[in-house]
Structure 1
Amino acid sequence: MFGILKKIFEKAPPENEKLPYYDIVCPYCFAKFHHEDVVFRATHHRDDDEAYALQEDEKLNIYRGKFDLAPIDELEAVIDLSSIPEENKIYSGRVIVGLSDKYSEVTKNRLCPECHNDLPITAGKYPSNIISIVGATAVGKSVYITSLIHILQHVTANNFDAACIPLDNGISRRFRQEYEAPLFENNHLLQATAITKRQEPLIFQFVFKDENRSPLTLVFFDVAGDGMTSKEYIKKQAGHIKNSAGILFLVDPMQIRTIREKLLHQLGDNPGDITNTADEPREIVLALYDEFIAHQENSKTDIPTAIVLTKSDLLNALKSDDGEYIRTNSNVFNNVVHREFLNLDEFENINGEMKRFLSKVDIPFVNAIDVYFRETSYFAVSALGSNPIEQQVSGIISPIRVDEPFIWLLYKLGVIEGRHE
């Protein structure tokens, strides 16, 4: 009887206490922190109050200096939450999103406490999803990122009843001017990322039209391939890799020594722009292991990792009816469009075929992946549809299966379903 009465009169928790909240991973410096550790930028300044006067933001300028960006002389003050009474804090669900300062001015401009960059509006309400793209130099990371985001915006989002939107106008302009227009309008190949210059991340929101489905904040981070076997360089990049929701591990067929000479022979006198010999894929695995995988439980990472063979159009030079390497009717050469869900039949076909192919041509790499990564799948993509010649792409750019590894990551994150036809 007492138990029944207790249930009747026990006060139910407020609705907002039932709502989830998440630790925030800054999409700029990759620091991880609780949502109540954020700071805010004031919306006004005052000459008669030193705390609210225009001032240099040292943390922000240190961050900008890493990217060769000019320092900003003066900005509105940064407000620490410790100076704000609880009744002046503004929440959305259980996540703090704004405050009313001591002059009753409201600001909702949340900043990372470490680098003072603006945080996405969804930070804390939904998981942060950093997609790290790794691989050796000249594997085609910048070209793949460009092709992937282009397809996400123009094809994939619509197929999943969503929109893929840049975080702000600055990122929109930078992607358009430095990535999309040179490649898709001028057919000009992008230059490899320089090791001497850290790239700012490209941040997009993948927002479903169904309001009951959580949006994703996607942070695509392109690191220089030249640095991926440098202990000092990768140490700087490990922050974003170990806080990733997923990894796209790119492998160039021209960096696989067992088939490189055969490909060169089959491609003839005019092979187009091909990768010079570089670090083998296994060297990248070992570098990742040394820096962060070795410190994980059982020395393995749980981060879902897509092993992506790039420039799959080159495999036309290896195809044959007997399938010594690749069969003439291989899935690799067929573009597949996934709509509303991951087509598990198509996924299992390409995963099985590419793992068998890589096991045949580079078994040390596949073995290393099996040892250090718990959750992997294998894919083949062509970001352009053909091999460029003298940094120019001839004809219309026709990407093949570029979004499939990304869609698989959405499936592994529980964002979309996977179904057999």
Structure 2
Amino acid sequence: MGIFDFFKSKQKTVRPEFFDIVCPFCFEKYSPDKAVFRAAHYKEDDEEFQLQEDENLNAYRAKFDLGPLPDMEAVIYPERIPDEYKKYVDGVLVEVVDRYGIASKKRLCPSCHNELPLTAGKVPGNIISIIGASQVGKSVYMTSLIHTLQNFTANNFNAACLPVSVEVSRRFRELYEDPIYDRGELLTSTRKTAKQEPLMFQFKFKDESKDPVTLVFFDVAGEGMVERDYLDIFAAHIKNSSGMMFLVDPLQMRTIRNKISIRREDAPGDFTSKYDEPREVIISLFENFIGNQEKGKTDIPTAVVLTKSDTLKVLCGDDYIKENSNIFYNAAHKGTFDLTEFENINGEVKRFIDKVDRAFTDAMEVHFTNTAYFAVSALGSDPVDQKIQGTVSPVRVDEPFLWLLYRLKVIEGSRAK
């Protein structure tokens, strides 16, 4: 019996469960054994191993108006490789050896040929989608959330939140974190024509008996959320999400927009019809994927997140909101998800939105079966002239995320004694 045969025989009895992969680029879903590999070398005199165009990868790039890449190493299909030249880790094929005796470890999505993260298939991969119309502050919220998870929340749950690669770490720091936290600058809006590179992190517990969770944050351009052609590209991403954060700007709601515009005499005419109504995003989602689900509903856990909650302070004293509202105060969840705190904020935000945009909550109830309501401030104050005033002080930004982990049974919930 050879070493590979021994390894395979052991797998029959102790092989750990593997997890389906959802590609964090094209969002196709498949089992790990469907992944393909990028050759680690090329041979000019071998047509199969020559440098060549990768049509699948270039087709993916063309969706984002990016030019084709130069010829690259060949794609290796594992079904053509004898079993004794395959290596498995945690039940997942992670390496193949080609006929030249050279190992290939770079796994690719079989559909778009982008490189898969090392953890794909080995641990649960949960895509957390951040959706919402233009102007709601999705990129700023995502930045504040990841920063908070890394520096505070993970420690509260005896865990660590780490990027899956040095490249992801660098991109997050340079494009998102440094502008906000070091330079006090707001981020520019995500462009529809920009390549939507996902930001992948792993929420890993120090208790090794708990599976780590791979988190894929996908920053969809807001104006595309109400355009059918754009959403056609991302329907698979939303459909295969484990959870969604549906961001809603109070200024999208006409009642609140008019109230704040009157109160804020320092910024007359600043709030205009450029804001898409939240329910228009729901209609667009229905056209692209919810309408094809059973009974026209989706059971994906969806956190409705009222952003820029600090702007609501000007409404205190009206019937809409009280000065001592939970919305304006942070809540720390430590070790477990505080269900009492959650029920308070969920009820308060739901009642608030019911008052100012009942058509939106009615639409949510018609098409979503698993929802909760939250209010967050990614910065803690309202920027002036695209500049952040003072220290960035997020309020409740991690609460919607923790609720999603609770609904996904990654963390437990409890009530204060």
2:370 is the counterpart of 1:375:
yes
- Which of residues 36, 52, 56 in structure 2 aligns to 1:55? 52
Match of 1:390 in 2: 385
**Residues of 2 paired with 1:67 and 1:152: CA distance?**
30
Q: Kindly provide the CA deviation profile for residues 318-348 of structure 1, in whole angstroms up to 9, marking residues without a partner as x.
A: 112xx61111111001111111111111111
Decide whether aligned partners of structure 1 residues 83 and 329 sit closer, same or farther in structure 2, where only a CA change above 3 A counts. Answer: same
Decide whether aligned partners of structure 1 residues 41 and 20 sit closer, same or farther in structure 2, where only a CA change above 3 A counts. Answer: same
Match of 1:179 in 2: 176
Alignment of structure 1 residues 4-403 onto 2, 5 Å: 14-17=12-15, 19-67=16-64, 69=66, 71-270=68-267, 277-320=274-317, 324-403=319-398
8 A Cα contact 2:66 2:195, kept in partner? no
What code does the residue aligned with 2:294 have? E
Q: Tell me how far 1:166 sits from its aligned partner.
A: 1.6
8 A Cα contact 2:382 2:388, kept in partner? yes
Q: Tell me how far 1:159 sits from its aligned partner.
A: 1.5
Match of 1:413 in 2: 408
Q: Tell me how far 1:78 sits from its aligned partner.
A: 1.2
Where in structure 2 are there 5+ consecutive unaligned residues? 1-8
Q: Tell me how far 1:284 sits from its aligned partner.
A: 0.7
What code does the residue aligned with 2:301 have? P
What code does the residue aligned with 2:114 have? N
8 A Cα contact 2:11 2:91, kept in partner? no
8 A Cα contact 1:111 1:118, kept in partner? yes
What code does the residue aligned with 2:192 have? I
What code does the residue aligned with 2:160 have? A
Match of 2:4 in 1: none
Where in structure 1 are there 5+ consecutive unaligned residues? 1-10
8 A Cα contact 1:272 1:390, kept in partner? no
Q: Tell me how far 1:103 sits from its aligned partner.
A: 2.2
Decide whether aligned partners of structure 1 residues 39 and 220 sit closer, same or farther in structure 2, where only a CA change above 3 A counts. Answer: same
**Residues of 1 paired with 2:126 and 2:303: CA distance?**
15
Q: Tell me how far 1:256 sits from its aligned partner.
A: 0.5
Match of 1:4 in 2: none
Q: After the TM superposition, which of the residue ranges 390-399 and 169-178 deviates more from structure 2?
A: 169-178
Q: Kindly provide the CA deviation profile for residues 249-277 of structure 1, in whole angstroms up to 9, marking residues without a partner as x.
A: 00100110112111122223148976754
**Residues of 1 paired with 2:333 and 2:244: CA distance?**
20
Match of 1:7 in 2: none
**Residues of 1 paired with 2:214 and 2:270: CA distance?**
34
Q: After the TM superposition, which of the residue ranges 373-382 and 85-94 deviates more from structure 2?
A: 85-94
What code does the residue aligned with 1:125 have? K
Give the TM-score normalised by structure 2: 0.93
Q: Kindly provide the CA deviation profile for residues 129-163 of structure 1, in whole angstroms up to 9, marking residues without a partner as x.
A: 11111111101111111111111111111221222
What code does the residue aligned with 1:15 have? T
8 A Cα contact 1:39 1:78, kept in partner? yes
Task: Report the 3-state secondary structure (helix = DSSP H, G, I; strand = E; otherwise coil) of the residue aligned with 1:369.
Answer: helix
Decide whether aligned partners of structure 1 residues 214 and 278 sit closer, same or farther in structure 2, where only a CA change above 3 A counts. Answer: same
Task: Report the 3-state secondary structure (helix = DSSP H, G, I; strand = E; otherwise coil) of the residue aligned with 2:231.
Answer: helix
Q: Tell me how far 1:74 sits from its aligned partner.
A: 3.3
Task: Report the 3-state secondary structure (helix = DSSP H, G, I; strand = E; otherwise coil) of the residue aligned with 1:218.
Answer: strand
Q: After the TM superposition, which of the residue ranges 246-255 and 230-239 deviates more from structure 2?
A: 230-239
**Residues of 2 paired with 1:83 and 1:410: CA distance?**
39
Q: After the TM superposition, which of the residue ranges 178-187 and 101-110 deviates more from structure 2?
A: 101-110
Task: Report the 3-state secondary structure (helix = DSSP H, G, I; strand = E; otherwise coil) of the residue aligned with 2:395.
Answer: coil
8 A Cα contact 2:261 2:267, kept in partner? no
Q: Kindly provide the CA deviation profile for residues 30-83 of structure 1, in whole angstroms up to 9, marking residues without a partner as x.
A: 111121111011222333433223333232233234445554323222110121
8 A Cα contact 1:331 1:350, kept in partner? yes
Q: Kindly provide the CA deviation profile for residues 197-241 of structure 1, in whole angstroms up to 9, marking residues without a partner as x.
A: 342111112222222211111111111111211111111111100
8 A Cα contact 1:138 1:275, kept in partner? no
What code does the residue aligned with 2:356 have? V
- Which of residues 400, 404, 408 in structure 1 aligns to 2:399? 404
**Residues of 1 paired with 2:272 and 2:26: CA distance?**
31
Task: Report the 3-state secondary structure (helix = DSSP H, G, I; strand = E; otherwise coil) of the residue aligned with 2:214.
Answer: strand
Decide whether aligned partners of structure 1 residues 44 and 196 sit closer, same or farther in structure 2, where only a CA change above 3 A counts. Answer: closer
Task: Report the 3-state secondary structure (helix = DSSP H, G, I; strand = E; otherwise coil) of the residue aligned with 2:162.
Answer: strand
What code does the residue aligned with 1:390 have? D
Paired residues in the alignment total 408
Q: After the TM superposition, which of the residue ranges 233-242 and 121-130 deviates more from structure 2?
A: 121-130
Task: Report the 3-state secondary structure (helix = DSSP H, G, I; strand = E; otherwise coil) of the residue aligned with 1:228.
Answer: helix
